[in-house]
Amino acid sequence: MNLNPELAKIREEIDAIDLEIQRLINARASCAQRVAAVKQEEMAETGEVPVYYRPEREAQILAQVKARNEGPLAAEEMARIFREIMSGCLALERPLSVGYLGPIGTFTEAATLKHFGHAADTRPLTTISEVFRDVDAGDLDYGVVPVENSTEGMVTHTLECFLDSPVVICGEVEMRIHQALMGHPGTAMSDVTAIYSHQQSLAQCRLWLDANLPNAERQTVSSNAEAARLVAEADPAMGWVAVAGERAADTYGLQLLAGSIEDRPDNTTRFLVIGRQLTEPSGSDKTSLIVSVKNEPGALYRLLEPFQRHGIDMTRLESRPSHAGVWSYRFFIDFIGHIKSPHVAAFLDEIRVQSAELKILGSYPRAVL
């Protein structure tokens, strides 16, 4: 077969570019090894355990990649490629152990891989509490937990875990969530008797399920991946199906019966990265805190008014009952800025005076990918 001369020339260019890309990636990896050597020398001199993963540094790099990208690849796609390069290079310094709400195939696993890359040592755990506990104990470097969905609101269990845990927020991940209906190969919609999924996923697909499977029983389980696993192990004749991400179908050998069944096409879930060390400013940060106020007239106004006066952009306000007394509440608040910023520090000093309790959960880079 005679190859078009122009096509042959382009392929030669691609081969040459690939060779240069490979050389440069390995050059970057060599730099990562040198960084590790320097940090080891510092540890020998000072006795302090070196910090290999810097969330603020990685966020800055990815933001720069997106800002300078000229195409034709989209900026998001280019940043994902760099994410994996950085993941592989960091593993040469020291592989990170990262726990997430499992089992394998959950959206939380996908968020973990999106944030840390595939070179991280990722470990599925049974509950959100277990992720917090293992990070606090030092069995994991970091953890990834869901905190809110754009359709169904906050994940209460995650908020409650912050009340008693000393771990801090080191980063956030935002993911567009596409739900799929899956079952055994050959399953017809008319065969479906029960739908298994996490309660939030069932809620995110409520209208679609009402319209297409109104008579099927809905069963809530601990995660979407657990739903897929249960369906995969069940007798096909039982007519069970699961609502989960497409990754779960591949993991558990199920057939997709319908895709993108979420009621809102912009359905997005936010995840938090938790660890044991505070994060330095990245230039584009967010702060989260828990605050409670005295149960007296005007207390909430006095808490919120300084946000406007100091020009602090609040992005989330969530109230939860406090164990301090009947009809008393704690507020979970997110706002733009870092606690090391002078104007944020001044704002927090004022808020602290108005508060019965104030716990800063962390300042961390805003989601880049």
In a domain, 12, yes or no: no
**Whether residue 223 sits in one domain with residue 190:** yes
Average of per-residue pLDDT across 325-345? 88
Residues 210 and 317 in one domain: no
Tell me, yes or no, whether 19 lies in a domain: no
User: Same domain for 346 and 359?
Assistant: yes
CATH number, domain of 169, equals 3.40.190.10
Q: Are residues 161 and 142 in the same domain?
A: yes
- For residue 16, being part of any structural domain is answered with no
pLDDT surpassing 80 at residue 342: yes
347 and 203 together in one domain: no
d(CA 361, CA 278): 9
Which contacts qualify for 120-124: CB closer than 8 Å, 24 or more apart? 120/87, 120/91, 120/95, 120/96, 121/95, 121/96, 121/97, 122/98, 123/97, 123/98, 123/99, 124/99, 124/100
Note whether 156 and 271 are same-domain residues: yes
pLDDT band at 242, cuts 50/70/90?
very high
For the residues of 124-139, what is the DSSP string, one character each? Answer: EES-HHHHHHHHHHTS
Indicate the pTM of the whole model: 0.90
Instruction: Please check whether residues 125 and 71 belong to one and the same domain.
Output: no
φ, ψ for residue 359 (rounded to 5)? -130, 120
Tokens matching residue 313: 């952009």
Q: Please say which residue of 214, 249, 277 terminates a domain.
A: 277
Give the distance, in angstroms, between the CA of residue 110 and the centroid of all CA atoms in the same chain. Answer: 8
Tell me if 170 sits within 8 A of 285, measured CB to CB.
Answer: no
Per-residue pLDDT tens digits for 290-315: 998 877 788 888 889 999 999 999 99
Distance separating alpha carbons of residues 243 and 31, to the nearest angstrom:
44
Distant-in-sequence, close-in-space partners of 295: CB < 8 Å, separation ≥ 6? 325, 327, 328
CATH of the domain at 330: 3.30.70.260
Beta-bridged to residue 316, according to DSSP, are: 334
Same domain, 172 and 296: no
Do residues 302 and 360 both lie within one domain? yes
Which strands make up the sheet holding 329-336, listed edge to edge? Answer: 314-321, 329-336, 285-293, 355-365
Task: Determine whether 356 is exposed, middle or buried from the number of CB atoms within 10 Å of its CB (0-12, 13-18, 19+).
Answer: middle
**Are 139 and 255 in a shared domain?**
no
Q: Domain span at residue 120?
A: 96-177+267-277
Query: What is the pLDDT confidence band of residue 150, given thresholds at 50, 70 and 90?
Result: confident
Residues 122, 173 within the same domain: yes
Give the Cα separation of 275 and 170 in Å (integer).
6
